[in-house]
Copies of this chain bind each other. A is one copy, B any other.
Amino acid sequence: MSQLNAVLKDLDDNIDDAVERLFGLLRIQSISTDSAYADSCKSAADWLVDDLNSIGFDANRHDTPGQPMVLGKQNINDQKPHLLFYGHYDVQPVDPLDLWDAPPFEPALQDTAAGKVIRARGAADDKGQLMTFIEACRAWKKVTGELPVGVTVFFEGEEESGSPSLIPFMQEYQSQLTADMALVCDTGMWNATTPAISTMLRGMVGEQFTITGPSLDLHSGMYGGPAMNPIRVLNKLLAGMHDDTGRITLPGFYDGVHEVPAEQKQQWNTLAEDNKDFLKNVGLSDAAGEEGYSVLEQIWSRPTFDVNGIWGGYTGEGFKTVLPSQASAKISFRLVGDQDPDKIQAAFHHYIESNLPADCSVEFHSKDASAAINMPIDAAAFSKAQKALTEEWNTDAVYAGCGGSIPVVGHIKSILNMDSLLVGFGLDDDAIHSPNEKYNLSSFHKGMRSWARILDALS
């Protein structure tokens, strides 16, 4: 039996113990955005340090002004490639709690039509995913006495709350974090049977802004007509962001957006055929994005503008004929290709400011912006990982886009000058960030087997 096969057998033989360990981590209520859970975040970091040290890592907790970081190292030498593995141990808040079928921090295996699932907050995002990698390392160490490559693990605890400590930490620990390549396990499969390597990530520009018209709330009987209503101004400005074909109207917005090569478009069209229910599953039938682009293109290769929140005036029960003083919105752009987030942010500010009626003012509150990322899929590591995944799943692993942003991948590029291999085993129905989050047991089990193979392939 090859070393790899022995490692895979060990993972199969000990799956119950692995699930038990994951349950231990899932029981820790590491909600990073709520300061009431700061001690739980520290406990989760300590839990990981202890587990890493138990399998041969030299791991430590590093406190920050926010939640702690975990760094662990093993088998780092000149003979072996050195990989940096990133994950995050913090989780999203659990409200609305009454929509959960079971307590979110009491993990359990549940039988479903699609097989057994692990049900808990963080099961998929990201505790279950990061543990697939730790379990692969555990098995390699146990079966062969050492890891096939050098590994630095790096876990943060603020991914769900904007990662305020991440950039300063990565800058301070640059030399300790730099390796040959990064592995990031925070993405998904193409579907339940088809593994994927995410090679394109959309970037993001986010803004909250408030338009002020009259200096106080007015009665629409007394002032309705001549009084500027900031909700009307906001509606008009936001409605003007798209033309009738769904294109975004900001001048220069599409600078740096590249058309997808015909060959890749063809591959995506093939993928789309077994993805027909993607919109249907959420109650929709038509692709609402730019005309002339498929659903996959709209998510993976086209930029977007969306209003994520809007509010103004009276929103309680009943009616109040108020003309409000203010109206607000939270908006975000998803970016692709070489779009420049700073230029887009400036263009958006200019659009709002230059179209604002004289009697209105606007105040912006900007979120950190990030550019889109495109991985060098011609590099050998990508094809080796693709082959390893294909062998594990008996289905060709696909190079996929990813509609979301993973800011850490940008920081890994800009601060550490490394590319990232984005492999994950989440599924679209995992309900991450929602009630009843789950991670398929098969994702967990075959996920650890996949990492065992990738470590071998990259050694």
User: Using a CB–CB distance below 8 Å, which chain A residues touch chain B?
Assistant: 33, 161-162, 202, 204, 206, 208, 213-229, 231-232, 234-236, 238-240, 242, 278-279, 282-290, 293, 295, 298-299, 302, 304, 306-315, 318-325, 327-328, 330, 332, 334, 357-359, 367, 402-405, 428, 432-434
Q: Is B322 a contact of A288 with CB atoms below 8 Å?
A: no
Q: Is B308 a contact of A320 with CB atoms below 8 Å?
A: yes
* Smallest CB-CB A-B distances: 9 pairs: A221-B404, A215-B283, A225-B298, A309-B313, A239-B239, A225-B289, A226-B287, A228-B288, A231-B307
Q: Is B308 a contact of A323 with CB atoms below 8 Å?
A: yes
From known contacts A225-B403, A282-B227, infer whether A434 and B217 are also in contact, taking CB-CB under 8 Å: yes
The distance in angstroms between the C-alpha atoms of A33 and B316, with both chains bound, is 12
Contacts of A432 in B (CB 8 A): 219
Q: Is B219 a contact of A284 with CB atoms below 8 Å?
A: no
The distance in angstroms between the C-alpha atoms of A296 and B308, with both chains bound, is 38
Contacts of A306 in B (CB 8 A): 220, 224, 229, 231-232, 321, 323
Report 25 cross-chain contacts, Cβ distance below 8 Å, ordered by A residue: A33-B318, A161-B318, A162-B318, A208-B319, A215-B283, A221-B403, A222-B403, A225-B299, A225-B334, A226-B279, A226-B284, A228-B286, A231-B306, A231-B307, A231-B308, A232-B239, A235-B307, A235-B310, A306-B323, A308-B323, A309-B315, A309-B322, A310-B311, A315-B330, A321-B404
Contacts of A318 in B (CB 8 A): 33, 161-162
A400, chain B: closest CB distance, angstroms: 12
The distance in angstroms between the C-alpha atoms of A284 and B323, with both chains bound, is 13
Q: Is B226 a contact of A288 with CB atoms below 8 Å?
A: yes
Closest to A222 in B: B403
The distance in angstroms between the C-alpha atoms of A222 and B221, with both chains bound, is 44
Contacts of A285 in B (CB 8 A): 358-359
Q: Is A313 a contact of B310 with CB atoms below 8 Å?
A: yes
Q: Is B214 a contact of A284 with CB atoms below 8 Å?
A: yes
Q: Is A403 a contact of B223 with CB atoms below 8 Å?
A: yes
The distance in angstroms between the C-alpha atoms of A406 and B136, with both chains bound, is 74
Closest to A428 in B: B222
Q: Is B310 a contact of A332 with CB atoms below 8 Å?
A: no
A343, chain B: closest CB distance, angstroms: 20
Q: Is B332 a contact of A223 with CB atoms below 8 Å?
A: no
The distance in angstroms between the C-alpha atoms of A227 and B307, with both chains bound, is 12
Q: Is B226 a contact of A308 with CB atoms below 8 Å?
A: no
Contacts of A227 in B (CB 8 A): 279, 282, 284, 288
The distance in angstroms between the C-alpha atoms of A228 and B288, with both chains bound, is 5
